[in-house]
Amino acid sequence: MSGNFLDKAKNSSSLISEQRIIEYLSKLDKAVIISLDNLEFFSNHLVDIKIKIERVARSDIHHLKIDNNGIKLHETIGKSSINEAQLHNLVDGMFKDYSGYCFIVNAGISYVMFNGVVDDKINASFMKRKTMQLLLGTKKNVCDLEEVFENFFSACKYHKEYKEYCFSSNGMIKAEIKEQQLRNLLMKYLDHNVKGEVQPEFCTDYYNDEESVDIYLNDGTHRAIIEVKFAFKESYYSGNTYYSFSTRIGDGMKQLDKYALHLADGRRQVDYGYVYMFYCNDMTADTIRNKVNAKYKELEKVLSAEFFSIYKCTLANDLSCWCH
């Protein structure tokens, strides 16, 4: 098998070689990152690489640096139990400035980077959903929503269809992108990755049809509601609606508060409530977190007990990260 692999790898195109390498590493069933400047390094030292990977601990993520002379470096860089978003962040932090190939394999996730950029030519999985659902035959429960949100953000960063849906060729967010379009993106992802019912425009008030939360989820055990907002700086958005980030966060919390009150009145209270903000501005992640916390503290005295009984957190998805 090794000889057959070596012969085909040496005689095939770069694309085929990359595919075969990622497939081969996946079959070894360990969490590994292989970095190398030349694909032939992998072929030339396949036996040593295979022996090394077979002997490493399953509980860790292992980085092997391969050069012309073989395995130049072996280091443990994390735990294999980390989720998809954490894995992508780890890889980005270590290899975004690396000039060469990186092959990443862990728990059903497999992909290739070249010169610090994800290689779109390779038919690899960036989400656990397809692979893990085949292995486990399951989706996430509503109580695991925050993990699903992390995976959705990774999908937005690494799947070019999200960028193409929201951005024009000039790098600006399209004028037609409004909260409903962003809601639909998130809802579609949740529908494929969360058990049970995922419903748009869920009416929270028996007497007012307009009092509808953006997304409602029910897996038969737990229920959740999600209020979606957006705030884009004018320099990034071709539309004509420029909301303040803090204002829209506050609007989302106050609307979630109304929904919680209505649902409690109708004895239909849910278990989880989230505000989900899509944004694009020049603020750092720390500044965004501080603004969310500041708005929460500002409203803390006016929000109802029903709000606090369901509210979990506010999440912010930075569309500027989708462009890399």
The segment(s) of the chain belonging to CATH 3.40.1700 are 2-136
Q: Which residue has the higher pLDDT, 139 or 94?
A: 94
Closest residue by Cα to residue 162 from 147, 152, 170: 152
Q: By the 8 A CB rule, do 110 and 104 touch?
A: yes
Q: How far is CA 59 from CA 50, 56, 88, 223, in A?
A: 18, 9, 18, 34
Q: What is the pLDDT of residue 317?
A: 95
Q: How many CB atoms are located within 10 Å of the residue 300 CB? A: 11
Q: What is the pLDDT of residue 16?
A: 43
pLDDT at 236 > cutoff 80: yes
Domain range 142-323, CATH class? alpha beta
**Average pLDDT of the chain?**
84
The segment(s) of the chain belonging to CATH 3.40.91 are 142-323
Confidence band, pLDDT 50/70/90 cuts, at residue 211: low
Q: Which residue has the higher pLDDT, 59 or 68?
A: 68
pLDDT at 275 > cutoff 80: yes
Q: What is the pLDDT of residue 9?
A: 41
Tokens of 97: 């400035």
How buried is 50 (Cβ within 10 angstroms: 0-12 exposed, 13-18 middle, 19+ buried)?
A: middle
User: What are the DSSP calls for 50-100, one per residue?
Assistant: HHHHHHS-TTEEEEEEEETTEEEEEEEEEETT--HHHHHHHHHHHHTT--S
Which CATH number applies to 2-136?
Answer: 3.40.1700
